[in-house]
Structure 1
Amino acid sequence: MSRRKALEQVAMLLGGAISAPSVAGVLSRATRRAWAASPGWAPRTLTPAQLELVATVAEHLMPQTDTPGARAAGVDRFVDTLLSDHYSAAERDRFLTGLAGVDARTRSAHGQAFAQCAPEQRIALLSEMDARAYASDRGEDGWFFRRMKELTIVGYYTSEIGAMQELHVSPFGAYRGDVPYASLGRAWS
């Protein structure tokens, strides 16, 4: 199956719920290797301040609970890799403009960058952005916030932490052909 055909089928399966760059990134082995935890990794699109902003926003969207959050899962690396490898220049610029808007809002309201604000201030801003993103008026803020949520969710649940610790994905075990029924206890038929 060609990559194009796989993307078409995945998009049809998901009903267009996930953007094409996200699907392409998930299907790309190079993307998985690029953002996996490696000491030599360096951002290619985001500045260190932007990378921290993405990590902070993502951590609020998928916080640490009894399982690690978005920061530990490397969602910031995933976002940088997708922006670098799978987004068009126009989409990348649109995302970066939205990201700058988050910091501009907190600087205007609280006199400091988003990452330096108190958690309550961050949550208030994100709640406001969330409400506007899904209102009838879907402006640039809405596009950015919906895309940020999408990238956070896809990045988190396709990471090892998201898949193995949060979703508890358990790959099939070894094949054991002839097993006495008594050793199974129960069986589905």
Structure 2
Amino acid sequence: MNMQRRDVLRLLASTAVISALPVELMQSLQQARAQSGPGGSLRTLNAHQNLTITTMSDIIIPETTTPGAKGAKVNEFIDLLLTEWYDKPDTDHFLQGIAEADATSRKRFGKAFVDCTTAQQVQLMKTWDDEAMQYARALKAKPTGQMLPPPANFFYTVKRLTLVGYYTSEVGFSKELGKTIIPMKHAGCAPLSEARS
């Protein structure tokens, strides 16, 4: 499964997320999710990091008539990937991204991201999302075969993992997609404002 994991992580960084993942790799992610079990304890994210990821992911996919990212336990999915799928340098880089998000939040609002108001959190995330979209546009415009360096923007990774984590969950898979492996329409790299409308 090691090669599959690397394939999945490579695709997560370089494609239009759900709509471009091969079915077998979607199934691998769903199986990994199932193996983590219900209400599994976190192994990589500490309490503060977990709350930060839970808050961000729930702003990306809020609860509507169906549960949002929080209800789909996207935070546990991300913790699973960080623990079992990512290499240590990549995991460390992700955790450093959380710390940097807090540093930006403190600089702008004088408090950690999770202690900000929802309006402040959304404001920060829209700024990070604008930067992430610049990377996504560059990725889309690159000539075939040319590799771009991984995004420096932490939010780009959070957003992609949130989308994949949600749509490989029971909630996202059955209630949102109606048990369709690949959604007919999905704005995988749409700006945050479009994705929430």
TM-score bracket for the superposition, by shorter chain length: 0.7 to 0.9
CA separation of 1:155 and 1:65: change in aligned 2, threshold 3 A:
same
Counterparts in 2 of 1:154 and 1:107: CA distance versus 1, 3 Å: same
Deviation, 1:3, is 7.1
Aligned Cα RMSD in Å? 3.6
Displacement over 6 Å in runs of 4+: 10-15, 137-141
CA gap of 1:88–1:108, structure 2 versus 1, over 3 A, is same
Q: Is the 8 A contact 1:67 1:165 kept in 2?
A: yes
Query: Residues 158 and 105 of structure 1: is their aligned pair in 2 closer, same or farther, counting only changes over 3 Å?
Result: same
1:160 aligns with 2:161: no
Number of aligned positions between the proteins: 164
Residue 166 of structure 1 deviates from its aligned partner by 1.1
TM-score normalised to structure 2 length: 0.70
Question: Does residue 28 of structure 2 align to residue 27 of structure 1?
Answer: yes
2:42–2:76: 8 Å Cα contact kept in structure 1? yes
SS in 1 for 2:134: coil
Quote the Cα distance in structure 2 between the aligned partners of 1:152 and 1:83: 13
RCO greater where, 1 or 2, for CA within 8 Å and sep 6 or more? 2
**Deviation for aligned residue 1:7:** 7.3
What is aligned with 2:161?
A: 151
Counterpart for residue 63 of structure 2 = 64
CA distance in 1, matches of 2:122, 2:34: 30
Give the equivalent residue in structure 2 for 1:186. Answer: none
Contact 1:64 1:70 in 2 (8 A): yes
Structure 2: gaps (5+ residues): 139-147, 182-197
Percent identity over the alignment? 33
| Structure 1 Cα separation of the partners of residues 149 and 131 of structure 2 | 9
Counterpart position of 1:177: none
Judge conservation of contact 1:37–1:74 (CA < 8 Å) in 2.
no
